[in-house]
């Protein structure tokens, strides 16, 4: 993640690239508990400025407190409602934070650039999570603030690869989503596009991305043209 303490993962820092993915999730070798569904279709590509990806984790608990982060470009599409999520002041909407440091878990370090940290680990860790990110309710949430509870609200990040493969990544209880090569060894073909789906609504990225380290752009303040966090529709 972007601010992973030191360059390592005590038990589970993360690293990344670009705006729709991430790579590893830990240096220990235990796999995260999220699964991806993939299908081959004819690819789609349009995107709106409010999508991205983020960090992953795997075990720990979390306790409340707030902040904000973001990067990447994205905007609402498919009935996202009237309020501009990027007009809000920085806030931790969940009032809960990841408190387990670098303890390996798919829940770890929401909002941080996982692949950026993981890239400094051994190869099996550095390449494990090619796509990883975090979904938030507003656009400027801080690192380690828990995002949308995708288990309670059924939020999915749908990735379409350059070879028209469609991958559905469920959002977990800390708001993280990830593609784990331990569970699915099919290579990801970049560039990729992404959309966040919640109920009958969606939010799309406008531009295809060559990196899956979503939170590296979708940080609290946004980077590389992103307005801030990946936001649920």
> How far lies 159's CA from each of 74, 175, 177, in Å?
14, 16, 11
Q: Where are the domains of the chain?
A: 37-231
Q: Return phi, psi of residue 27, to 5°.
A: -100, 0
Please state whether the predicted TM-score (pTM) of the whole model is above 0.75. Answer: no
For the chain, percent of residues with pLDDT exceeding 70? 65
pLDDT digits (tens, 9 = 90+) for 27-84: 333 344 345 665 554 433 333 433 333 333 333 444 433 333 333 444 444 444 458 9
Decide if 72 contacts 47 (C-beta within 8 A).
Answer: no
- Token representation of residue 185: 């060894």
* Contact of 58 with 26, CB cutoff 8 Å: yes
Give the Cα separation of 23 and 229 in Å (integer): 19
Cβ pair 54, 133 in contact under 8 A: yes
């Amino acid at each position: 993640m972007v601010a992973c303490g030191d360059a390592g993962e005590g038990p589970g820092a993360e690293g990344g690239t670009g705006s729709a993915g991430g790579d590893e999730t830990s240096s220990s070798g235990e796999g995260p508990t999220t699964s991806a569904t993939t299908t081959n279709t004819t690819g789609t590509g349009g995107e709106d400025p409010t999508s991205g990806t983020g960090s992953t984790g795997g075990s720990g608990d979390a306790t409340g407190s707030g902040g904000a982060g973001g990067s990447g470009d994205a905007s609402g599409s498919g009935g996202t409602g009237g309020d501009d999520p990027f007009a809000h002041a920085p806030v931790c909407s969940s009032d809960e934070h990841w408190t387990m440091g670098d303890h390996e878990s798919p829940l770890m370090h929401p909002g941080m650039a996982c692949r950026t940290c993981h890239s400094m680990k051994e190869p099996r860790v550095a390449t494990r999570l090619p796509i990883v990110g975090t979904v938030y309710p507003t656009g400027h949430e801080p690192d380690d603030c828990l995002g949308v509870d995708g288990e309670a609200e059924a939020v999915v990040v749908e990735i379409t690869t350059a070879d028209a493969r469609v991958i559905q990544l469920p959002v977990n209880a800390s708001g993280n989503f990830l593609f784990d090569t331990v569970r699915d060894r099919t290579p990801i073909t970049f560039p990729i596009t992404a959309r966040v789906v919640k109920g009958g609504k969606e939010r799309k990225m406008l531009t295809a991305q060559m990196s899956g380290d979503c939170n590296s752009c979708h940080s609290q303040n946004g980077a590389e043209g992103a307005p801030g966090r990946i936001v649920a529709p």
